[in-house]
Amino acid sequence: MSKVLDDLYYSESHEWVKVLDGDTVLLGISDFAQSQLGSVVFVDLPDVGTKLIIHKEFGAVESVKAASDLISPVSGVVLEVNEDLIGEPELINQDPYEAWLLKVKLTNPKELDALLNKAEYAKISG
């Protein structure tokens, strides 16, 4: 069974969102997503300043088994990229909730309302 945390929002495409303060969030991939991918070997992330559009691709995670597009669960501007993942993408497998991908300033915080809570996400991630 995949680990699902209480204080996060989840998308149906298996990304998570953690609110740091009003309109600043961290984005990552869920424990379910990393377990389905297997050993992560490469992460392709956007540059700081990139505008994310809800439900649009913003990067990719590659594993020994497959490559998977990252789909933005929110709209916003990339404030920071987790540079640790460039050299050590396997950190995602060790703890996908510590190994965040991006820090983002939301352009529409109300988009969070459409995301899944822990109970809702647990139903689809088994």
Give residue 57's domain range. 9-109
Q: Is residue 126 in some structural domain? A: no
The H or E element containing residue 31 is helix 31-37
Domains identified in the chain, total number:
1
Does position 126 have pLDDT exceeding 90, yes or no?
Answer: no
Mean pLDDT of 59-72: 95
Q: Is residue 124 in some structural domain? A: no
Mean pLDDT of 64-92: 96
If DSSP states are collapsed to H, E and C, what string results for 58-124? Answer: EEEEEECCCEEEEECCCCEEEEEECCHHHHCCCHHHHCCCCCCCEEEEECCHHHHHHCECHHHHHHH
Q: Is residue 117 in some structural domain? A: no
- Whole-model pTM: value is 0.96
Does position 1 have pLDDT exceeding 80, yes or no?
Answer: no
| CATH number reported for the structural domain that contains residue 45 in this entry | 2.40.50.100
Q: Is residue 118 in some structural domain? A: no
Q: Is residue 1 in some structural domain? A: no
